[in-house]
Amino acid sequence: MSETRLAATPALGQHLTPPSEPAVAEDPASAFAHFFRHLQGERMASAHTLAAYRRDLGYLAELAREQGLATLTPQDIRGMVRQLAARKLSGRSIARILSAWRAFYRLMSRDFQWPLNPVDGVRPPKSPKRLPETLVTDAASGFLDALPDDEPLACRDKAICELAYSSGLRVSELAGLRLADLDLVQGEARVLGKGSKTRLVPVGRAAIEALRRWLLLRPQLAMSNAATVFVSQNGTPLTTRAIQLRLQHWQKVLGLPDPLYPHKLRHSCASHLLQSSGDLRAVQELLGHASIATTQVYTHLDFQHLAKVYDAAHPRAKKPDEDETPQVK
């Protein structure tokens, strides 16, 4: 069997291209290849997920250097964490990298009987929790109302923004939405989310109207074989990057003071729905979160809103210098 070996210190973030030969425990390149086949075959990982794992395993290949991957210890992994932190990677980024490494070693232990998972018990450095950025309700409505729809690209962009805010879709879900998955009569869309899981989401009235206007204009741009709802001016499926750039374009055109991006519309949808309904499970289902713990971040946003309202309105919440000095009679 010919061997294809992974360079001991690939450039940071270099994609690890899986070789085609069967994996063997002693060969790092083949071990990585086996892991990628597992991601594609058993877990049906998306291209975006595969790219993220390649980047994260690139750190492992680089930091391990000449040391065999199967012989690394928790002490070695902690040393790597310190090196990553020294490069100014955030705690969240290091946590993601450790999760990828942990999954890799778990599979190696299962399939090749590697002696231990050296990542188990290794924690990333703590970093401050960042709450999702959202638009206030009036700002979201004002932005969507201000978007023009007088020509095909603007009409398309308005439909994208209305759908993102209406149904809380990820940018990858917006780009991948197919015509066959959209039912405007019933007001729903079938969405392919993370882990190739599908879910049915409602589509609001304003989004339905915007989508109908766009679908009337879509044949002017779309190639005959284009299956996605949103296409570029060349008629090909719109990419996630193109959607991000179009929102940046409208932020500048409309003179919005804060950055605008697809996930902000998704966050805004979740936050406003939770404020109105208080139904955390419904928001979890809408967003396609595997764990409700992920959805619970929006309860913190809801509490922040409540706290601001309380501080502004409750007579016993005002600071002494904000209220008149009481008169004792």
Q: How far apart are the first and last CA of the chain?
A: 98
Residue type, 187: G
CATH code for the domain defined by 1-128: 1.10.150.130
User: Which residues belong to CATH 1.10.150.130 in the chain?
Assistant: 1-128
- Per residue in 122-135, pLDDT (tens digit) is 999 887 666 667 78
Q: Write down the catalytic residue from 264, 266, 267, 272.
A: 266
106 is a catalytic site residue: no
Residue 165 appears among annotated catalytic residues: no
263 assigned to active site: yes
Domain with CATH 1.10.443.10 in the chain: 137-312
Is 289 a known active-site residue? yes
- Whether 48 is catalytic is no
Q: In angstroms, what CA-CA distances link 322 with 65, 194, 201, 325, 326? A: 62, 49, 46, 9, 12
C-alpha 153, offset from chain centre? 25
Q: Which of 34, 156, 158, 170 is catalytic?
A: 170
28 has a pLDDT exceeding 90 = no
Q: Regarding the domain with residue range 137-312, which homologous superfamily does it belong to in the CATH classification?
A: Intergrase catalytic core (1.10.443.10)
Ranking 19-33, 52-66, 233-247, 252-266 by mean pLDDT, the lowest is 19-33
pLDDT 10s digits, 45-90: 888 889 999 999 999 999 998 888 999 999 999 999 999 999 989 8
Is 158 an annotated catalytic residue?
A: no
- For the entire predicted model, the pTM comes to 0.61
Nearest-10 Cα torsion for 301, 98, 127, 287: -10
pLDDT score for 83: 95
Residue 13 confidence (pLDDT): 40
Single-letter code of the amino acid located at 204: G
Set 55, 190, 194, 213: catalytic member: 194
| Residues listed for the chain | 329
pLDDT value at 304 more than 60? no
